[in-house]
Chains A and B, each alone.
Chain A
Amino acid sequence: DAMVIQNPRYQVTQFGKPVTLSCSQTLNHNVMYWYQQKSSQAPKLLFHYYDKDFNNEADTPDNFQSRRPNTSFCFLDIRSPGLGDAAMYLCATSPRRGAHNEQFFGPGTRLTVL
């Protein structure tokens, strides 16, 4: 089945140690999103790609970076994780721009920072 896959499902890292979360999709969608979902809070958009065009949200910390080497893969890099970065990270895809296009979500990666 076509889907959005996130690896790993659970990631533990140490304070300040760089970590990379990955997302892959078999849907051949042009748009990929990264959301951060902290406990008891609303998921929050960090950034998104339309094809290779990167769009960063204004309030996304510089500590967060992203790479999209090809259509299928997108990575979230946290350069120096702090305790406040512990959260569920959700990847989503959409076939094209526009709110009429459904977003398809992966299961998320839960990041723990020790």
Chain B
Amino acid sequence: AQTVTQSQPEMSVQEAETVTLSCTYDTSESNYYLFWYKQPPSRQMILVIRQEAYKQQNATENRFSVNFQKAAKSFSLKISDSQLGDTAMYFCAFMKQTYSGGGADGLTFGKGTHLIIQP
């Protein structure tokens, strides 16, 4: 079984600052994906960014980027030029890759980091 750990229950930064959210995971799988999901207050969870374990290059999506350290099993999220709309719960998640004929396992989530962007 895999585990995902987010050690920062809450973070607060000023608008326009850069913030990094931490995530570590443990797995014996060799082929998997890692994700960051955002859950705004009273709204649905949406995908922010994902990383395939086999890809060495860190994923980026506009202001969002990850620092994927496979050997250390670390997967942090960096938000640059933070905006008020970035205020949300952020969940780090793991999913092992399956192929045709295998099961479709769900996501294993961390407990989340509540990020507050102050004006």
Question: Measuring CB to CB, which residues of chain A are less than 8 angstroms from any residue of chain B?
Answer: 4, 31, 33, 35, 40-45, 48, 50, 55, 57, 90, 92, 94, 97-100, 102-103, 105-108
Candidates A57, A92, A100; contact of B52 at CB < 8 Å: A100
Q: Are A42 and B98 in touch, CB under 8 angstroms?
A: no
When distances are taken between beta carbons in the complex, the residues of chain A under 8 Å from B16 are: none
Provide the B79-119 mask, 1 if CB < 8 A to any CB of A, else 0. 00000000000010001111110111111111110000000
The distance from the CB of B113 to the nearest CB of chain A, in whole angstroms, is 11
A-B contact pairs, 16 of them (CB 8 A): A40-B111, A50-B103, A50-B104, A57-B106, A92-B45, A92-B106, A97-B98, A97-B102, A97-B103, A97-B104, A98-B99, A99-B95, A99-B96, A99-B97, A103-B106, A103-B107
Q: Are A99 and B44 in touch, CB under 8 angstroms?
A: no
Q: Are B110 and A100 in touch, CB under 8 angstroms?
A: no
| Bound Cα distance from A16 to B111, whole angstroms | 28
Asked, given contacts A98-B97, A98-B98, A103-B107, whether A42 binds B4 with beta carbons under 8 Å apart, the answer is yes
Candidates B9, B44, B97, B107; contact of A100 at CB < 8 Å: B97
The distance from the CB of A15 to the nearest CB of chain B, in whole angstroms, is 26
Tally of B interface residues using CB under 8 Å: 31
Closest to B47 in A: A102
Residue in A4, A97, A99, A102 with the greatest tally of chain B CB atoms within 10 Å: A99
The distance from the CB of B97 to the nearest CB of chain A, in whole angstroms, is 5
Q: Are B91 and A42 in touch, CB under 8 angstroms?
A: yes
| Bound Cα distance from A105 to B37, whole angstroms | 10
When distances are taken between beta carbons in the complex, the residues of chain A under 8 Å from B42 are: 107
When distances are taken between beta carbons in the complex, the residues of chain B under 8 Å from A42 are: 4, 91, 108-112
Q: Are B46 and A105 in touch, CB under 8 angstroms?
A: yes
Other 5 A-B pairs with CB < 8 A, given A42-B111, A105-B37:
A40-B111, A45-B107, A50-B103, A97-B98, A97-B102
